[in-house]
Structure 1
Amino acid sequence: MALQSGAEAELLLHWYQENKRSLPWRDTGNPEDVWISEIMLQQTRVEAVKDYFVRFRTALPTVAAIAACPDEQLLRLWEGLGYYTRARNIKKCAQVLLRDYGGELPVDPLELKKLPGIGPYTAGAIASIAYNVPVPAVDGNVLRVFSRLTACADDIMEPAVKQAFTERLQDLLWQLVYTDRKTFPVADFNQALMELGALICIPNGAPNCERCPIAAQCDAHCLGIETELPHRAPKKPRRVEVRTVLVLRDGERFYIQQRPSKGLLAGMYEFPGLPGALSEEEVLQAVNARGLTPLRILSLPAFQHVFTHIEWHMSAFEVQIAEPLSAASAHRNRKENAREGIFVTRTELEKLALPSAFRPLLARYALRPPRKKKN
């Protein structure tokens, strides 16, 4: 196995100190920053997370603030990151921390795994990065690095393979900490492995072996098979759902509805949708069926959104509605019938979380600030 000695680990640690990225949650000394960032980084790229992390921590700087945050504000802060169950689990976790742990994240990985939203990887990341506990944190980057280091041809998506790598890395950490160097920086070592996978031992292309500090220890590189690894089984094709989205407008107000409390995009607000690609006549019939009177209809450009296992292929129509509701009745409607549909003003809509699936419509009506362009 590569990286069997402290001297080899030092090569990686030196590279990390010279090349690590500046990230808003890195080296802050706050375990909560490790926790929040690791949850955000699940299924999400680092560059996409940075601005969200800063915004989230600015609005909710403490465990108590997270625990008391209203759901609508929480989801609005998370809007665009996807996998919204993560945000709800952060709030649940904060509430448990306040109730059972004095508002602080425990050091013990076994205790961390008891908390909502924290699995084995996240527990290892928090314990090792925040508290320097000698436990592994095996994410996709580390799996890819070790697959190449050991020239492992097994499918890295198999739980048994991940478990085997985790056990081998645990053995290595124990050796580095208790045999070679009792003050070994576990936090930097685990982050160095992740950083190596993100910057050098990259996916979907040839790794940058000429820049790798441990290329001489890499079995795949020595065998010339680094581009063939890691192996992973092909993903199942996503299910395609064809939908028709309705932008119903009551003067300057927009008609939205709340999704069910469980399932995809649970509890979020959305423009109402109907299954299938409907014609104008079918859309008008659907609007009338809601007890609304359409005045005119406009076909909008079609768009798509890709979830992990589903693709939404959406056509869209804007429909102007007659006889605007009064503000009072709209307020009652909001409280009582959000699932069926409510009219909201632009200002009200800005405070509600809508899935990024509707980003083209939000942009069309300037209901969200334009996205920053990456340099």
Structure 2
Amino acid sequence: MLKTEAERHFSRELLNWYRANKRTLPWRANRDPYRVWVSEIMLQQTRVDTVIPYYERFMDRFPTIKALAGAPEEDVLKCWEGLGYYSRARNLQAGARMVMELYGGTVPDDKTAVAGLKGVGPYTSGAIMSIAFNRPEPAVDGNVMRVLSRYFCLEDDIAKPATRVRIEKLAASLIPEGAAGDFNQGLMELGALVCTPKSPSCLPCPVMEHCAGRMAGREQELPIKTKAKPPRPELRVAAIVAGTGANTGKVLVRQRPEKGLLAQMWELPHVLLTKEQEPMLAAGESGAKEQEAMGELLTKAVEADAGLLIRPRRWFMDAEHVFSHIHWTMRFYLADLGAAGEEAKAGVKSDIAAESAAAYETLPPGASAVRSPYRWIGPEDMETLAFPNLFLRILREYWDSIEEGEE
């Protein structure tokens, strides 16, 4: 297939620019497919500067596919803690286990096999095949779609799957012979550093001479992308329950289910408000009536789940966290143990606890009995248990306030 001058110029100048200007990044130290794989999974929806320290820690902890495949999942999640999108970590480990089982611990030089690994989509498989094995496979992400949409003045909506397919074919046709890895990384690099989403730097761009979008004065409006549906708002109230006796200085946490959002991670107990209850939260933390209503909700939830009666005392802070599809707004209350909690601490189970005695976990003498998946933790447990960013932030604020004598 004959290439136009614009296509030849793009391939040639982009490759030359990348080789002369590429950043020194830890995953570029070599072309080991495992290292490439880990980096590409971490870089999904995450900035390079954020990924670097996580990548270095992760590779120190799990230097080989065998090490990752054989590690406890909680260790992998803890190493990933703070990076977000935790399904990426679970899928990466599941993929490593597939490589151990099916390919003897070596990532195969085979597109179909790599694409069949858990969590590996078209972009990641293209990145692994081109960077690690120098195969002429496209690796099309948001950066690449933006660069090519501007350079060729493409008006197709990049949010549509059909557009991605067309751009993948275009990207594949542009790959210079024998330079797939460098070319694909050059495309990503150009989108990250020069042809940025806002205010693209056209003057230092190595391919500006034939950029159709720039020549048409449309570099600011391209690419065309329909707006995604905004995340669904959810209002929640949570309790920071302080322990007593042997658990003084500790707080009550629970582990999330094995499946679903933030699976198997730890969190503070909290309750999702119904539409009818939401106006109470919006009224503000200073309203005594609202605090009483929220406290009652938390008390009932923790008693039903953990077998402990708690006493919410006062508002601590508000916080928000945005997932890709959900926006949590949360109000946190400080709480301590109520009468039933004191009975449990003394070894006397409440009626609710007695009904589910088999579900209780055995704790050290003097500790309050709580149903699994609840447990008491101190600051030292944060070193081993994996928490989502939101709860990490809240717990650190809480323990800082304890040290400063505010409680």
Q: Same fold (TM over 0.5)?
A: yes
Stretches (4+) displaced over 6 A: 331-336
- Give, in angstroms, the shift of residue 103 of structure 1: 0.6
Alignment CA distance shift 1:25-1:338 (3 Å): farther
CA contact under 8 A between 1:248 and 1:320: conserved in structure 2? yes
The separation in 2 between residues aligned to 1:76 and 1:86, in whole angstroms, is: 13
For residue 216 of structure 2, what is the amino acid of its counterpart? L
Q: How does the TM-score come out when normalised to structure 2?
A: 0.81
Question: Larger C-alpha radius of gyration, 1 or 2?
Answer: 2
Does 1:292 find its partner at 2:308?
yes
Map of 1:312 onto structure 2: 328
* Secondary structure, counterpart of 1:25 in structure 2: helix
In the alignment, what sits opposite 2:253?
256
Secondary structure of 2:251's aligned partner: strand
1:4 maps to a residue whose letter is E
Match of 1:265 among 241, 256, 262: 262
| Structure 1 residues 11 and 297, CA gap change in structure 2 (3 angstroms) | same
Distance 2:364 2:97 in 1: 30
Alignment match, 1:365: 398
**Secondary structure at 1:226 match in 2:** coil
Distance across 1 between alignment mates of 2:346 and 2:89: 34
Shift of 1:27: 3.4
Gaps of 5+ in 1: 178-183, 368-375
Measured in 1, the distance between the counterparts of 2:370 and 2:40 equals 37
**Whole-Å Cα distance in 2 between the matches of residues 335 and 100 of structure 1?**
45
Do 2:238 and 2:331's aligned partners in 1 also have CA atoms closer than 8 Å? yes
**Secondary structure in 2 matching 1:262:** coil
Q: Do the aligned partners of 1:294 and 1:319 also contact (CA within 8 Å) in 2?
A: yes
Alignment partners' CA distance in 2, 1:90 and 1:46:
19
Report SS of the residue matched to 2:66: helix
In the TM superposition, what are the counterparts of 1:220-235 in structure 2 within 5 Å? 220-235=213-228
SS of residue in 1 equivalent to 2:49:
helix
Q: Is the contact made by 2:127 and 2:139 (CA closer than 8 Å) also made in structure 1?
A: yes
Choose which of 293, 302, 306 in structure 1 pairs with 2:318. 302
Per the TM alignment, residue 54 of structure 1 is displaced from its structure 2 partner at its CA by 0.6
1:86-107 CA-to-partner distances (Å, cap 9, x unmatched) read 1111111111111111211111
Normalised by the size of structure 1, how large is the TM-score? 0.88
Distance in 1 (alpha carbons) for counterparts of 2:364 and 2:45: 37
Matched residues in 1 for 2:312 and 2:53: separation?
A: 40
Structure 1 residues 330 and 166, CA, compared in 2 at 3 Å: closer, same or farther?
same
Are the equivalent residues in 2 in contact too, given 1:246–1:319 (CA < 8 A)? yes
Equivalent residue, structure 2, for 1:71: 73
Decide whether the 8 Å contact of 1:2 with 1:149 is kept in 2.
no
**Deviation sequence 1:214-257 (CA, Å, 0-9, x none):** 00121101111111101100121221100001111211222111
Q: CA deviation at 1:2?
A: 6.8
SS at match of 1:227: coil
Among residues 141, 158, 161, which one is paired with 1:159 in the alignment? Answer: 161
Match of 2:202, as an amino acid? C
Q: Is the 8 Å Cα contact of residues 330 and 343 (structure 1) preserved in structure 2?
A: no
Let me know the Cα RMSD of the aligned residues: 2.4
- What residue ranges of structure 2 are gaps of 5+ in the alignment? 274-280, 282-289, 348-360, 401-407
